[in-house]
Structure 1
Amino acid sequence: MDNSGLVIVDKPGGWTSHDVVARTRRLAATRRVGHAGTLDPMATGVLVLGIGKATRLLGHLALTEKGYDATIRLGVSTNTDDAEGEVTATASAASVTEDALRAGVAALSGPIRQVPPQVSAIKVNGERAYKKARKGEEVELAARPVTVHDFTILDVRRDGDVIDVDASVACSSGTYIRALARDLGASLGCGGHLTALRRTRVGPYDLGLARTLDQLAEKLEVVPIGEAVAAAFPRRDVSADDARKVAHGGRLPAAGLGPGPVGVFAPDGSLLALVEEHGPLAKPLAVFIS
């Protein structure tokens, strides 16, 4: 029986994304498990795993919008832009007003250019930035375009020279919440870093669907691959003739379903492929016929 599909995990703090994959490989009794979009060890929340043929969906799912709940501490900077790093500077945030805070958040909303954290998995001349940083090398990372769809302040707590800001963020793939914390602190002249992060959503998959590793050990809940594609991408149902064409890697006429991946389904409702429309044609990204 093919158990290909997605497993939506509520990742615990202190675990790497690879730790979660390794545990799920044992639970699913297969090596063919991967994840869509890494979560730092400090972070908790939604980690989407693919089993079997669904591993081929992960690169496409990783590009979807994500949601987070975050706590930002203003008044303290670290070398990793989060609480796991070493403190590099302190400056009182006591004089930061609510208006200044809201203006700072507004300036980091919408389409922005963001410099990733020094300690990140981005490659610089073939080597991960965090490896260079750990060797004491200064890493020059270029700013990248990202989109912060929503950056909402939920609560503000003042304690002497520091301010803790609880916020929710919805953003495009590639956005670093640590970098938002750093840049908010920098814009307010007091520095800042991330002290807590919980991912609440990856595309259509949210915490309501997520299960802890203990729950998954009792019952491995797998979202079937066809259901997973229909939830995340536009759906296109095709005739038997077109289904045969797709099964052999052929192209279909475009159906005007948008620039991203489209799930193509056979007349019996089974998933055939992911395609992407380019001009007049829909070209296969991944074919799922056994």
Structure 2
Amino acid sequence: MEITFLGTGSGMPSKNRNVSSLALKMLQERDEVWLFDCGEATQHQIMKTTIKPRKIAKIFITHMHGDHVLGLPGLLSSRSFQDGESAVELYGPPSLKEFVETSLKTTGTHLNYPLIFKPIAEGIIYQDQDIKVSAKKLQHGMPSYAYKIEEADKIGPLLPERLKKLGVSPGPIYETIKNQPTTVLPNGTEVHRNDVTGPDIPGRRIAICGDTKPVESLAQWVQGVDVLIHEATFMEADEQLANDYSHSTAADATRLAKKAQVNYLLMNHISSRYQQDLLEDEQTRLKDIFSPLQFVEDFMEFTVK
């Protein structure tokens, strides 16, 4: 799993930061890219990366403010000309469907692939044998959501010494043993997978939060995730502004990360009023509260381990 930040600014684009969008690349796991938010010019940002639009299988919208959705019609249209023929699932508030369909209709845009709309509410919104996605409502003056992506645990590694004691030599039989609960050897011996594998490998977990005021219950919901991606529109000195506009400060995000005992905090949706030197000073200060954390930048990539 790799995260590519396509837009890390808030409200409107600046010279250094485009508006909100990030890509979760799962090319090895499922040969797909999932997009979270799609602000204006997201497709231009994608062109500066190795991401192939035809690989985008799901798009998750946190809320319907323009800096999170205005790039969506253009991206969907361009995908038709970039060998994109497989369906795209669109997850978001119920009004997402009307916005997309109206935009495509009034511009005479015809897609050569189907769109599948998935209106969201709190709870599990997608699940298969390998991964689960949940949504939680936030506080932002309009419906805004956080998404949590959770991989299923993986079967632990085979323990060769235990297999050796059972007379199992290395070979294709190893894969057979790992892929099924019980394997019967040619001599009639039953090998139970749980007896010859190590502890399960925990699946990775990522939480991606839309715009929001601090939400008390969010700490429990994101408890212990590997990566928390949270808005930091304002610095702590502008806490009143954050409250007035239903946003969070970087300090709010940091306190949440500490309370939830997450492994890593990445902060985005940063106001253009803050220059890089101020962000560096604020980041250094906040590390006294929680670490590791980082203000992200456009095109930054982060591998989830």
Normalised by the length of structure 1, the TM-score is 0.24
Judging by fraction of residues, say which structure has more helix: 2
Judging by fraction of residues, say which structure has more strand: 1
Normalised by the length of structure 2, the TM-score is 0.23
With CA pairs under 8 Å and 6+ residues apart, which has the higher RCO, 1 or 2?
1
